[in-house]
C-alpha cells in the first residue's frame, strides 16, 4: 500500500474519508436500550465488602468495573469490536 497522499486528489481523499466514516458508523455497536446493571452492582458491592473487612482490594478493580459496565451497555463482544478498530 502506498501511503503517499500526494498521489491522490483532494476529491479522492475526501471520498475515501467519507466511505470510511460510513463503514465505521455502520459497524459501530449500539447501546442496549435497557441494560441490566445487576452484574455491575454486584461487582461493586463485592469490592466494597472486601475493602470493609480490610481485604486486599485489587488495583485492577477500576478496570473490572469499567469492563463489566461496557459489556452491560454494549454486549459481551464490545471489546472484540474495540480491539478490531484500534489503530
Domain definitions of the chain by residue range: 5-85
Instruction: Flag whether the pTM goes above 0.75.
Output: no
| Residue-level pLDDT at 69 | 98
* Angle in degrees, 0-180, between the axes of helices 78-85 and 10-27, rounded to the nearest 10: 170
pLDDT band for position 24 (cuts 50, 70, 90): low
87 pLDDT exceeds 70? Answer: no
Per-residue confidence at 26, pLDDT binned at 50, 70, 90?
low
Place of cell 435497557: 34
Calculate mean pLDDT across residues 77-85.
Answer: 83
Amino acid at each position: 500500500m502506498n501511503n503517499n497522499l500526494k498521489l491522490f486528489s483532494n476529491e479522492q481523499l475526501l471520498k475515501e474519508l467519507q466511505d470510511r466514516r460510513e463503514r465505521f458508523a455502520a459497524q459501530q455497536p449500539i447501546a442496549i436500550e435497557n441494560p441490566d446493571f445487576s452484574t455491575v452492582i454486584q461487582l461493586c458491592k463485592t469490592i466494597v465488602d472486601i475493602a470493609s473487612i480490610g481485604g486486599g482490594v485489587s488495583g485492577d478493580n477500576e478496570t473490572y468495573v469499567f469492563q463489566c459496565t461496557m459489556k452491560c451497555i454494549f454486549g459481551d463482544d464490545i471489546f472484540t469490536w474495540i480491539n478490531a478498530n484500534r489503530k
